[in-house]
Structure 1
C-alpha cells in the first residue's frame, strides 16, 4: 500500500467524516465508520486527530474555510452594509443548497456540541459570528459595535432557519424565495436605520 502524506490523509478523514455525520449524525459517526468511509486504518485516524472532538473541530474549520472562500468572492470592503449583509446571506444559502451533506454535517456537529460540550459549541458558533462580523465591519459606513453584533447574529439566525427548512422540506425553490425575502428584510432594516 503506497504511503499517503499526512495532510492528504487528514483531508480524506475530514471528507469521510462529513459524509458519515450527514448520514448518521455525530453519535453514529464512530471513528471506525469514518475510517472505513475513508478506506484508511483506524489507527491512522487516531494518529492524525487523537480524538473524535479534534476531528469534529477540523471538520468544522474545513467547512468554515470553504464557506469563507465562497463568501469572499462576493463581498469586499467599501460596499454598503446592506449589500454585504445580503450577499453574505445569499451566498451562504446557495452554498448550503449546493453542498447539502456539508451543511447537514455543520448543523449536526453544532447540535451535538450544544448537548455534549457547551464550550465547543460556543467556540464553533463564535467562529462564524466573528468571521461574518469582520465582513460587515469592512462596509463603507460600518455599523456601531453593538448593532454590528446584533445584525451579524440575525444573519446567522436567518441562515440557520433557512437551512433547517431546506432540509425539512427539501424544496430548493422555496429556500431561494425565502432567502430573497430575508435579504429584503435586511435591506429594509439597514436602509431605515441609515435615515
Structure 2
C-alpha cells in the first residue's frame, strides 16, 4: 500500500465513510465496513480513527463544511436582499437537494446520531449554528451593499430561512415533487422577504 500523508488518508477515510453510510446507514456502518470501502486493512483505519464515534464526528464536520461552503457560494449579494434570498435558495436547492437526496438523508441521519449519542450533542447544535451564520452573512452583505435596513436581525432572518429550507428538504426527500418544491421555495423566499421588512 503506498504511503499517504495523514491528512490525505483522513480525507480518504471520510469519503469512504460517507459512501458506506449512504449505502448502509449509521447503525450498520462499522469501521470494518469503512475500511473495506476504502480498500485498506482495518488496522490502518483504526490508526486514523480509533473509534466509530471519532469517525462519525469527522463525517458530520465534513458534511457541515460542504453544505456551509455551498451556502456561502449560493447567493449573489450585489442586487439587494430580496434577490440574494431568492437566488440563494434556488442555487442551494439546485446544487445540494435536487440531485443530492442521499446527502440530505445522510445529514439528517447524522444529526439524529449526534443528538442521541452522549458527548456528541454539540455537533447538531454547531451544525445549525454554522448554517444560520453563513445565511446571516450573505443576507447582511446583500442588504448593506444595497443600503437596505431590515425590521429583524440578520441572525433571526437566517434562522427562519434555515428552518424553512429544512422543512422543504424533509418533504422533498420523502416525496420528490419538483413542482411542489419550486412552489415551496418561492413561498419561502416571499415569507423571508416579508419578515425582513426591507
In the TM superposition, residue 169 of structure 1 has moved relative to its aligned partner by 0.9
Select the residue among 129, 132, 135 that pairs with 2:132.
Answer: 129
More helix by proportion, 1 or 2?
Answer: 1
In structure 2, runs of 5+ residues without a counterpart are: none
1:169 paired residue number: 175
In the superposition, the TM-score normalised over structure 1's length comes to 0.81
2:188 paired with 1:182: yes
Q: How many residues align?
A: 191
Moved more, 79-88 or 103-112: 79-88
1:12 paired residue number: 12
Residue pairs, 1:97-176, within 5 angstroms: 97-116=98-117, 117-139=120-142, 140=144, 141=148, 143=150, 147-176=153-182
Q: Is the 8 A contact 1:86 1:186 kept in 2?
A: no
Separation (CA, whole Å) in 2 of partners of 1:96 and 1:77:
22
1:34 paired residue number: 34
In the TM superposition, residue 168 of structure 1 has moved relative to its aligned partner by 0.7
Q: Is the 8 A contact 2:68 2:131 kept in 1?
A: no
Greater relative contact order (CA < 8 Å, ≥ 6 in sequence): 1
Separation (CA, whole Å) in 2 of partners of 1:31 and 1:20:
10
Q: Is the 8 A contact 1:82 1:187 kept in 2?
A: yes
Moved more, 128-137 or 45-54: 45-54
Q: Is the 8 A contact 1:19 1:101 kept in 2?
A: no
Q: Is the 8 A contact 1:136 1:142 kept in 2?
A: no
